[in-house]
């Protein structure tokens, strides 16, 4: 990794000693984050952003710009079929934003049962979060799957301040599933 990243980037790693959930994993990075806002990128979700004149910037870059403009946390979402909502975090919004745009969310829930989800906009592994999420993660009880969920801490944050759902324009591959991984290999091939 160090051979391919810009020389200004420093790589530091933290070990999550036990599989206690995504929220716990993020909390393990608290000493590195300090008081700065930060991005979370789940590496099993691959995001492919083709360059186009409509979207010269990639989704993560747009999310950072929106965060800097509005000061709201940005949670990347995309539509999923209604029967797959129980595999994702799902956001509650009054109206689905256009691709490349953000809208303030009313709520967020981790892996709702099919038929109970507030929308079909799923959280897709990219987040821009304020440092204050760490204090919320410290008091987040175990949730779905008996794990400490980042989604539950974001739901608490959203009760204190505005949090936006950002609708991605790129293409995503869920490489946490065998089929998603194969599709990614074919697409990049
Ligand atoms: C995690 C998050 C979930 C999100 C998903 C895909 O779930 O908890 O909210 O929708 O990643 O990015 P996991 O795939 O770890 O079960």
Query: What tens digit of pLDDT does each residue of 3-49 get?
Result: 999 999 999 999 999 999 999 999 999 999 999 999 999 999 999 99
Q: Tell which residue, 171, 37, 162, 170, has the closest CA to residue 103.
A: 162
CB distance 89 to ligand 1 below 6 Å: yes
CB distance 176 to ligand 1 below 6 Å: yes
CB distance 170 to ligand 1 below 6 Å: no
Cα–Cα distance, 177 to 183 (Å, whole number): 10
CB distance 122 to ligand 1 below 6 Å: yes
Rounded to two decimals, the pTM is: 0.94
Cα–Cα distance, 83 to 176 (Å, whole number): 18
Sole residue written with tokens 């599989």: 19
Closest ligand 1 atom to Cα of 125 = 12
Cα–Cα distance, 167 to 153 (Å, whole number): 20
Q: Which of 1-10, 25-34, 71-80, 85-94 has the lowest mean pLDDT?
A: 1-10
Confidence of residue 72 (pLDDT cuts 50, 70, 90): very high
């Amino acid at each position: 990794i160090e051979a391919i990243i810009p020389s200004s980037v420093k790589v530091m790693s933290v070990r999550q000693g036990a599989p206690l959930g995504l929220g716990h994993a993020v909390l393990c990075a608290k000493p590195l984050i300090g008081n700065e806002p930060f991005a979370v990128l789940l590496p099993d979700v691959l995001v492919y952003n083709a360059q186009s004149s409509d979207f010269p910037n990639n989704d993560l870059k747009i999310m950072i710009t929106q965060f800097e403009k509005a000061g709201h946390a940005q949670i990347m979402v995309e539509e999923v079929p209604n029967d797959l909502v129980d595999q994702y975090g799902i956001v509650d919004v009054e109206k689905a934003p256009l691709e490349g745009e953000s809208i303030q969310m009313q709520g967020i829930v981790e892996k709702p049962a099919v038929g109970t989800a507030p929308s079909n906009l799923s959280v897709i592994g990219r987040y821009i979060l304020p440092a204050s999420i760490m204090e919320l993660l410290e008091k987040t009880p175990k949730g779905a799957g008996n794990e400490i969920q980042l989604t539950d801490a974001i739901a608490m944050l959203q009760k204190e301040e505005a949090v936006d759902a950002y609708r991605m324009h790129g293409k995503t591959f869920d490489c946490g599933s065998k089929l998603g991984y194969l599709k990614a290999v074919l697409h990049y091939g």
